[in-house]
Structure 1
Amino acid sequence: MSATQTVVSQVMQARKSVRKYKEGITIPQEQLQTLLQQAITAPSSSNMQPWRFIVITDQEVKKELRPIANNQEQVETSSAIIAILGDMKMYQRAQEIYDANAEQGLMTREVADAMIKNSHALYGNLPEEVIKNIVHFDAGLVSMQIMLLAKEMGYDTVPMGGFDKAKFAEKFNLPKNEVPILLIAIGEAATPAYGSSRLPLEHIVRYI
C-alpha cells in the first residue's frame, strides 16, 4: 500500500465483481452476522433504515433460486446469497428507532417524539413510487457497505439486479410491504476478477 493510500482506498480498489466461486466454502453465520451488523451503519433517509435481508446459505434453496435469478452460476456456487429487500412501510418502526435514540442519549425525548410524529406524517402520505425510490436508494448505500466489508474480511462479491422479483417475492413469501431489490453473492473467488475501466473524470464531472 502506498503512503498516500488509506485502508479504505485499498479495499475500494481491490473490490471487483466476481462470478466464479470456489464451491463448498462455508462462511460461518457469526461472520455473516458481523458483516451485516457493521453494514447497517449506512445512512438512510430520516434514519428509517428500510433495508431488510434474507441470507441464503442452504444449497438446495440456492439451487431453486438460480432459475429465478436468470440462471446465474454464482447463485449456486457462492457461499451465500444476501437478498436486499426494501420495507415500504419502514416509517412504522419510527417509534422503535427514535425511542432507542432517546434512550441512548443521542437526542432528547422531545426531539425523538417530534421525529416520530414527523416520520409518520411525511412517509405515511408519500406516493408509493416516491417511497420505492427512497428504499431503493437506501438499499444501494447499505449494499455497497456490505461489499466493501466483505472484501475487507477476505471474501468476494457480485451484486445482481437481474432476477425475477415477482417470483422471488412469491418463493420467499414476502409480505406486501417488502420489495426485493438486489441479490449479493458472497464467497471465495475461484478465478481472479476481470478489471474494468472507468470514464475519465473530465467526461463526467462539472465544477461550478
Structure 2
Amino acid sequence: MSVNETATLNLNDFYTVLRERHSVRAYDPDVKISKEELGEMLELATSAPSSSNLQPWRFLVIDDQKLKEELYPIANNQQQVLDASAVIAVLGDLKSFEQAENIYSSTVKAGFMDEATKTAFVERLNKGYGGMGPEKLHQVNLLDAGLVSMQFMLVAKAKGYDTVPMGGFNPDKFSEAYNLPDTLKPLLLIAVGKAAKPARSTVRLPLEQITYWNKVEKK
C-alpha cells in the first residue's frame, strides 16, 4: 500500500469520526472507563490550540458515583450525569498566564525557541494578560475551552465512546460544591461513556445559507 493510499484511509477514518459523533444523552451505567484511558483521552485533547499557547483549561474528572449523584441537581437533573462513565468539568484558569515561564522554558528545552525570544515573549505575555480584567480573561478561556472540548469529544469517539457537552448547570453552585478558588471558573461539563441507545439524528443548515465569500450579503 502506498503512502498516499494509507493517508486516504486515515483521512476516511477521520471523516467517519466526524460523521458519527453525535450528542448522546442515554448511557449504559455498567460501562466504566479507567482512569488511565480517560487520562489518555484528555492528554490527546490538549494538543488543541489555545491563546498564546497558555493552555488555560483545567479538568475535574468526576467518576465516583456518589459525587455524580451530588452533581446531578447542580446539572439540572440531567440523567446522563448519573449514567455516563464520567463527567469531565472543563475549567478556565484566570491565572494561566502565570504558567508562561514554565511553558516557554520547556519550549526552549525542546529546541523550538531560543532563550532571548522566550524571555521577551514571556515578558510580553505577563504584561498583556496580566493587564486584562477577569471578564476579558474569562472570554479568552471560553474560546479555548471550546477548542479543547471539541477535540476531547472527537478523541472519545475515535476510541469508541460517546459524549455530550452540557452548558446547562449552575456554575456558582458547582464552584461552591467543589470548593473552587476564584481563579478557576467552570465553563462546560462533558459526559462520556457508552451509548445505551443510538443518538437522535440531527440536521445542519445548508452551507450556502451560512457561508459568505469575500463580503457579507443579504440572503
With the shorter chain as reference, the TM-score category is over 0.9
CA deviation after TM superposition for structure 1 residue 10, in Å: 1.1
AA at the equivalent of 2:127? A
Q: Which amino acid aligns with 2:97?
A: Y
Runs of 4+ in 1 over 3 A off after TM superposition: 2-5
Aligned pairs for 1:1-208 (under 5 A) are 6-208=12-214
1:164 maps to a residue whose letter is N
What is the percentage of aligned positions where both structures have the same residue? 47
Looking at structure 2, the residues matched to 135 and 69 of structure 1 have their Cα atoms a distance apart, in angstroms, of 21
**1:160 CA drift (Å):** 0.1
Code of the aligned partner of 2:195:
A
User: What stretches of structure 2 of length at least 5 have no aligned partner?
Assistant: 1-7, 215-219
Structure 2 counterpart SS, 1:168 = helix
Deviation of 1:60 (Å): 0.2
Aligned-partner residue type, residue 148 of structure 1: L
| Consecutive unaligned residues in structure 1, runs of 5 or more | none
Query: CA 1:109–1:18 in structure 2 vs 1: closer, same or farther (change >3 Å)?
Result: same
**Aligned residue pair count:** 207
Q: 1:59 to 1:3 in 2, by over 3 A?
A: closer
Larger radius of gyration: 2
Pairwise CA distance, 1:5: 5.9
2-side partners of 1:84 and 1:118: how far apart?
27
RMSD: 1.3
Q: TM-score of the superposition, structure 2-length normalised? A: 0.92
